Amino acid sequence: MALVMFDYDGVIADSFEVHMKSFLSAFHENDCKKVNTEQDILNLYEGNVYKSMAELGLDDGQINRILESYEKRQNILLDRIDFFAGMDTALTRISGSHKIYIITSNIAGAVLRVLDRYGLTCIEKVIGSETEKSKIKKIQAVMGLYPEAQAYYVGDTKGDIFEGKEAGALTVGVAWGWHGADKLHESNPDYLVFSPGELANILCAV
Enumerate residues 6+ apart whose C-beta is below 8 A from 154: 4, 5, 6, 7, 11, 160, 171, 172, 174, 199
Question: Side chain identity at 52, as an amino acid letter?
Answer: S
pLDDT of residue 70: 93
Divide the 206 residues of the chain into consecutive groups of 10 and give the mean pLDDT of each group. Answer: 98 97 94 92 93 94 94 95 97 98 97 96 96 97 98 97 98 97 96 98 97
Q: Is the pTM of this model over 0.85?
A: yes
- The reported pLDDT for the residue numbered 33 is 86
Contact 48, 159 (CB under 8 A): yes
H or E segment to which residue 67 belongs: helix 60-77
